[in-house]
Amino acid sequence: MPESNEIRSPGSCTAVVGLQWGDEGKGKVVDLLAEGHDATVRYNGGANAGHSVVVGGERYALHLIPSGILAKGKLAVVGNGVVVDPEKLIEEIDGLERRNVDVSGLVISNRAHVVLDYHKIEDALREDLLAAAKGKNASGKDSGPGQIGTTRRGIGPAYAEKINRATALRIGDLLKPDVVRERIALACGVKNAMLQGISGSYTPLNPSDIAERAIECGKRLSPRIRDTTYLLHDLLGEGKRLLFEGANATLLDVDHGTFPFVTSSSCAVSGIGPGTGVPPSRLSRIIGVAKAYSTRVGAGPMPTELFDAVGEGIRTRGREFGTTTGRPRRVGWLDLVALRYSVMINGVDEIALTLLDVLPGVERPRVCIAYRIGESKTDRFIPDGATLTTVEPVYQDLQPIEQGLAACRTFDDLPQNARAYIECVERFVGAQVTIVGVGPGREQTLVRERR
């Protein structure tokens, strides 16, 4: 037992969080940091996330398993705040094992919620219905996309189930066949009635089929299912270092993002407390990851979006196609108003600026430094979908970034205009850039000490 006057266990916590609309290259940053930590921990989201990491020339696309799994001999923890599609998780485990990745360190919270068939069906049906219901606003103008453009992985309905409680199933329940059968029968009673109401073409689901598959998944996953809250606190008590890996990103956070065009979880670092049981006071280092430009997948406002050949060039050079859905990503200039907001929301100490090597070739790079709304101007972000759609970005032009960044191996190797771009970001958002990505390889990640 700890001494009653003991102040705090000696371990430490680092968080890595996306500062834009996802796909910032968090997987690569986690991969870089994982060696110096004992466990990586996911706290939010589900199989909607797509973390793409290149190790030894091999590309791995991870959705549910923390990217830290690729570091040998470390724990990879799926926290209680994640919604887990057990069949997708098993597929991912099998896929990694086939490629000889050691997955023995993977642990899943017994309190993570389960994504089942009806969540994915509901996600898709809602999206189709919303698209069909797309209407006009009061002034007769097109009201914009009705649907959110979700990944259709059942994320929203699974989180809604958790909040609704009675029909939700947690990973630990998968080890109790009677509970699984009873809960899924109850859920199907509700879902079949509800989804038939939503769509005449819906075929009612058979609860016993879903339940037996869920029970099989439970058997496969059982050695990995733990109370991860106590596990994490025990690790901290032993002086271990934890690395929290945010999925999706701050501007998709259900509270702080561009609502309603967001995901359904707390993606910002404030999600770590509810999503793992580790309190925010334990965080000692917060690294925000941002691309040198902006991308977004799905619907919703993106003030700096490009619809021209410049955007097309960035999309091609940056290989901006979704890891999870393969959709082409929307591309735009770096939005410093949004970035500064995300730095503020997360209390970011350091920034990892990724994909800087995609910008050379752009004749006149620009960054957004304010928004114009009608006659007024603001440098404050507006986390509201309807209002943000109406803003006009105010830009600052910068010098074209030099070619050849991919060959840089240290910060000092970076040419003048590339450095000026980084300094412009630092000045505007008030945080230091300590990591710069100039290519997909581990050796193309330039790191410097924090000032």
Site for ligand IMP in 38-77 (CB under 6 A): 48-50
Nearest approach in angstroms of CB 113 to ligand IMP is: 14
Q: Where are the alpha helices (DSSP H) in 347-415?
A: 385-388
Contact between 148 and ligand IMP by CB under 6 A: the answer reads yes
Binding track, positions 194-233, relative to ligand IMP; x by CB under 6 A:
----------------------------------------
Q: Which stretch binds ligand IMP (CB under 6 A): 102-110, 150-158, 372-380, 381-389?
A: 150-158
Nearest approach in angstroms of CB 331 to ligand IMP is: 13
Look at strands 366-373 and 350-354 and give their pairing: unpaired
Q: Which stretch binds ligand IMP (CB under 6 A): 64-72, 153-161, 202-210, 278-286?
A: 153-161
Tell me the number of residues near ligand IMP by CB under 6 A: 20
What is the spatial distance between Cα 355 and Cα 406, in angstroms, rounded to a whole number? 10
**Shortest CA distance to 312 belongs to which of 299, 293, 298?**
293
Nearer to ligand IMP, 149 or 271 (CB): 149
Which residue from 15, 19, 20, 22 is in contact with ligand IMP, where contact means CB under 6 A? 22
Nearer to ligand IMP, 153 or 366 (CB): 153
CA–CA–CA angle 253, 259, 261 (5° rounding):
90
51 flagged as catalytic: yes
Which residue from 14, 23, 96, 225 is in contact with ligand IMP, where contact means CB under 6 A? 23
What is the spatial distance between Cα 98 and Cα 92, in angstroms, rounded to a whole number? 10
23 flagged as catalytic: yes
Nearer to ligand IMP, 21 or 118 (CB): 21
Could you say which of 31, 37, 51, 123 is catalytic?
A: 51
Q: Determine contact, residues 13/283, Cβ cutoff 8 Å.
A: yes
Nearer to ligand IMP, 11 or 156 (CB): 156
Phi (first) and psi of residue 324, to 5 degrees: -90, -45
Nearest approach in angstroms of CB 426 to ligand IMP is: 25
Q: Which stretch binds ligand IMP (CB under 6 A): 8-16, 146-154, 230-238, 353-361?
A: 146-154
Question: Partners of 35 in the beta sheet?
Answer: none
Which helix (H) or strand (E) segment is 77 a member of? strand 75-78
DSSP string, 191-257: HHHHHHHH-TTPPPP-HHHHHHHHHHHHHHHGGGEE-HHHHHHHHHHTT-EEEEE--S-GGG-TTTS
DSSP string, 165-179: -TT--BGGGGG-HHH
Collect all residues with Cβ–Cβ distance below 8 Å to 66 and sequence separation of at least 6: 30, 40, 41, 42, 76, 77, 78, 245
Site for ligand IMP in 264-293 (CB under 6 A): 264
Nearer to ligand IMP, 37 or 153 (CB): 153
Contact between 150 and ligand IMP by CB under 6 A: the answer reads yes
Contact between 80 and ligand IMP by CB under 6 A: the answer reads no
Q: Which stretch binds ligand IMP (CB under 6 A): 16-24, 180-188, 269-277, 345-353?
A: 16-24
What is the spatial distance between Cα 68 and Cα 77, in angstroms, rounded to a whole number? 9
Question: Partners of 287 in the beta sheet?
Answer: 16, 350
Nearest approach in angstroms of CB 117 to ligand IMP is: 16
- Residue whose token pair is 């000045």: 427
Which residue from 96, 254, 297, 345 is in contact with ligand IMP, where contact means CB under 6 A? 297
Which residue from 79, 149, 275, 385 is in contact with ligand IMP, where contact means CB under 6 A? 149
Supply the DSSP symbol for 21: S
Nearer to ligand IMP, 45 or 86 (CB): 45
What is the spatial distance between Cα 101 and Cα 62, in angstroms, rounded to a whole number? 12
Supply the residues annotated as catalytic.
23, 51
What does the binding site for ligand IMP look like in residue numbers (CB under 6 A)? 21-23, 48-50, 148-151, 153, 155-156, 247-248, 252, 263-264, 297-298
